Structure 1
Amino acid sequence: MLTFNKKQVMDICDGKKRRKVSGCVRGCRRTVAGKMRREACKVLRSLTVEDNNHTEPMEEEEDDDCFSISFLRNERLEPAMVVSPRYSLLREVGRGSYGVVYEAIARKTGTRVAVKRLQCDAPENVELALAEFWALTSLENRHQNVVQLEECVLQRNGLAQKMSHGNKRSKQYLRLVETSLKGERILGYPEEPCYLWFVMEFCEGGDLNQYILSRRPDPQTNRSFMRQLTSAVAFLHKNNIVHRDLKPDNILISQKSGSPVLKVADFGLSKVCAGLNSKNSEEHPTAGAGSKGSNQNNIVNINKFWLSSACGSDFYMAPEVWEGHYTAKADIFALGIIIWAMIERITFIDAESKRELLGTYIRQGTEIVPVGEALLENPKMVLHIPQKARSSMSEGVKKLLQDMLAVNPQDRPDAFQLEVRMDQVTCAA
């Protein structure tokens, strides 16, 4: 376990530091949580909800636990009516530079949910918020290992409106998109804040770092998590989504079913590649090698889109991401780093947060360097997998990790191939 002293671990995109809310459960002082809850209530206390052509005033709450958001589910004109707030904020569980995550409860059903509030006060924040919204709303089907978005609400000037993908009749939505595309501040002023509220399923088990490092090693749990992670990434790639920021912080744990279920979360840096072309996006189709199989058409397509924004977190970034020219295979590399660290419990201490995090690295003298960066500097470097002499890692898992962490992306399995091979090696273990 080492402190990363070469450079602080950071989320980057186009060379800019970006601290994001990962959705993981973090403790906080009651005074801070109470203050944040009160601040949220000042904004949302008497919230009017608008649904296209209809405006609906809301019931004002006397208590401080008032995430007062509701809306009509149809577009017909109806008489104005007063409705009760749908959610009550309980506590703050996560915080980043552009958003806050709360644990909340649905008043009607009593179901616990996670509510992420993103302030759209700058183009880069709007871009991250819209990326997450577009990724989650583009999924037509649910997957048990991908966090579920229940609803998204745009709130500004005392009005709240349910967000729907591509809603051209919503002036607020179109202005958000315009802010993101033009890269200049269009929405909101200090006295008129604009927020996006994401209501998602709540994961009470924290993130993968917390779950793994607070328990004794369990090979059975490791194998289950490996299968769940590969299944989630295969699902995302099949739906033309490149996550671009896979790391233990962004993998949450749900224990509602009794057994731990992983949930890939935080899609702020994700890219939806469907329907993009070289004329209107940063992704460019190329004649790269594809997968074989009748059910892999979408995976073949996503591995032919090249991305150019260097996004991710240092320890999990593939060599080609450091160069700013990569495909969905970068997600496979990040997954390899996560699984390798999870199996052998390889950790480092984040120099800024002082948290112990799962992640593999290369030693260079007194420093530790991310694997992807080290491979970029020395493509012929041989990775010693496993690191520990007494490791119980099987030959099948060892070979699979070596393939996932190949320097050349074309030598890595795609998401569909990975899912098949992972089932084979974990069942044989």
Structure 2
Amino acid sequence: MPTTKEKEVMDTCEGKKRRKVSCESVEGCRRSVAAKMKRDVGKVLRSLTVGNNNHIESTKEIEDDEDCFSISFIQHDQREPSVLASPRYSLLREVGRGSYGVVYEAIARKTGAKVAVKRLQCDAPENVELALAEFWALTSLENRHQNVVQLEECVLQRNGLAQKMSHGNKRSRQYLRLVETSLKGERILGYPAEPCYLWFVMEFCEGGDLNQYILSRRPDPQTNRSFMRQLTSAVAFLHKNNIVHRDLKPDNILISQKSGSPVLKVADFGLSKVCAGLNCKNSEEQPASKESSRGSNQNNINKFWLSSACGSDFYMAPEVWEGHYTAKADIFALGIIIWAMIERITFIDAESKRELLGTYVRQGTEIVPVGEALLENPKMVLHIPQKARSSMSEGVKKLLQDMLAVNPQDRPDALQLEVRMDQVTCAT
């Protein structure tokens, strides 16, 4: 399974091609993703005045001065050219790379705080769509949640002009052109000689992802219980705010240790869907019934049907494989993650050679994603727990069985799950 969602979208949407993986033991040497990544020299984004932008677009298309600000990203050991304005952020090292973006650890020059900076090149409509999906999801949240990664700011950069992005800013021609690119499916903004980038500045999580954190430490039931509560709290918050993540997996769950104890952060919203104010005539989503337009937000989100079969195959619910699903698919993915975390069930991805947390079903010499196996055989009984010496309580066992039910209507919704998770973890 690719570690970047861009590859996953391609693999999943072009057909249900099963990936070959091995289940070999990988005790011992584990290297972090950051150590395996090549260091990259940060590019300098020159801050231009409005007068210098006449060759980009007319002055009528340039935003008000208050919307434009000086921002430069440079490598930390590179001397800053005197002709540049003082940079807001200095890139320290590359910590992740995908087919359409790079993530850096950086320093905010003004405060000295560490941040994560994700650079997305908007060179194709599909990349723009992923970038805007993440931007819309994170900016639609009016309140913060300690278990959801926080977006500090988003910057649109083209031909040296750096401009802060704001959600739904109809005065911004750059923003509108990005939206047009995504909707029309053709390049509207940027050319090879003048690339367009989106820079996401987010809180930095120094503990790596859930795979790295869990598999580099001895089993700890107390940590497991804490993580289970944090994960369900995060998903309940997202669903209450009408956001379906659609790509929950250990790679997309980061760990912050600033407070001394590990705090989970759900991240990577490139495949997410904001379900507020949907127009079923002009959208891929359709209300499951007339009742979907009434009632509270947390109930409504479970009544909208989504049709884009995307995500990561080992965490996809049966109905996602069919391309007709609701927010309950997030509950299934969460069940797979928690089950794998408690019992430390892993597989080796054949492409990346990484050990990944994830449960599966054996079919001869192959291992098959649970969701795909349940789609092929809805009457199949999942053996929870898998391991004979597992310390899983009856309450957790029953909750996981309900979360992984074939019929999404038999699964608890996110708010019900949060209440039940508190009950079973406190009783353990």
TM-score (norm 1): 0.86
Distance 1:59 1:425, change over 3 A: closer
Residue 12 of structure 1 pairs with residue 9 of structure 2: yes
Q: Aligned equivalents of 1:334 and 1:61: distance in 2? A: 36
Aligned match of 2:33 in 13, 26, 29? 26
Alpha-carbon shift at residue 148 of structure 1 (Å): 0.1
Mapped contact 2:152–2:201 kept (Cα < 8 A):
yes
SS in 1 for 2:41: helix
Alignment of 1:140-179 (within 5 A): 140-179=142-181
How far off is 1:287 after superposition? Answer: 2.5
How far 1:108 moved relative to its partner? 1.1
Q: Check the 8 A contact 1:37/1:65 in 2, yes or no.
A: no
- 1:15 partner amino acid: C
Q: SS at 1:245's partner residue?
A: coil
- In the TM superposition, what whole-angstrom CA distance separates every residue of 1:219-246 from its partner, at most 9, and x where no partner exists? 0000000000000000000000000000
In structure 2, the CA distance between the partners of 1:150 and 1:16, relative to structure 1 (3 Å rule), is farther
- Structure 2 partner of 1:282: 284
> Is the contact made by 1:318 and 1:334 (CA closer than 8 Å) also made in structure 2?
yes
Q: Quote how far apart the aligned CAs of 1:298 are.
A: 1.2
* Cα separation, partners in 2 of 1:288 and 1:206, compared to 1, 3 Å: farther
State the partner residue of 1:384: 383
CA contact (8 A) 1:102 1:114 kept: yes
Q: In structure 2, what is the equivalent of residue 53 of structure 1?
A: 64
- Answer yes or no: is the 8 Å Cα contact 2:285–2:306 preserved in 1: yes
Distance 1:218 1:288, change over 3 A: farther
- Mapped contact 1:104–1:115 kept (Cα < 8 A): yes
Q: How many aligned positions are there?
A: 390
Aligned equivalents of 1:60 and 1:273: distance in 2? 35
Q: Distance in 2 between matches of 1:267 and 1:62?
A: 26
Conserved in 1, the CA contact under 8 Å of 2:133 and 2:269? yes
1:27-426 to 2 correspondence within 5 Å?
27-28=34-35, 32-33=38-39, 36-38=40-42, 40-41=43-44, 44=45, 46-48=46-48, 52-54=63-65, 58=70, 84-287=86-289, 297-426=296-425
AA in 1 matched with 2:218: R
Question: RMSD across aligned C-alpha pairs, in angstroms?
Answer: 2.4
| Structure 1: gaps (5+ residues) | 18-24, 69-81, 291-295
Work out whether residues 277 and 285 of structure 1, in 8 Å CA contact, stay in contact via their aligned partners in 2.
no
Distance in 1 of aligned mates of 2:365 and 2:139: 45
Distance 1:58 1:270, change over 3 A: closer
Distance 1:16 1:66, change over 3 A: farther
What is the alpha-carbon distance in structure 2 between the residues aligned to residue 60 and residue 403 of structure 1? 50
Please state how far the C-alpha of 1:66 moved relative to its aligned partner: 7.7
- The residue matched to 1:311 in structure 2 has which SS? coil
What SS does the aligned partner of 1:37 have?
Answer: coil
Secondary structure of 2:34's aligned partner = coil
**What is the distance in 2 between the residues matched to 1:354 and 1:273?**
36
Gaps of 5+ in 2: 16-31, 51-61
- In the alignment, what sits opposite 2:26? none
AA of the residue aligned to 1:47: S
| Contact 1:344-1:388 at 8 Å conserved across structures | yes
Structure 1 distance, partners of 2:290, 2:319, is 15
| Distance in 2, Cα, partners of 1:423 & 1:61 | 43
Cα contact 1:67–1:89 (8 A) shared by 2 = no
CA contact (8 A) 1:320 1:326 kept: yes
Letter in 2 for 1:111: A
CA distance in 2, matches of 1:192, 1:16: 31
Structure-2-length-normalised TM-score: 0.87
Residues 177 and 61 of structure 1: is their aligned pair in 2 closer, same or farther, counting only changes over 3 Å? closer
Q: What letter matches 2:362 in structure 1?
A: R
CA deviations on 1:62-88 (whole Å, 9 max, x unpaired) are: 9766899xxxxxxxxxxxxx9521111
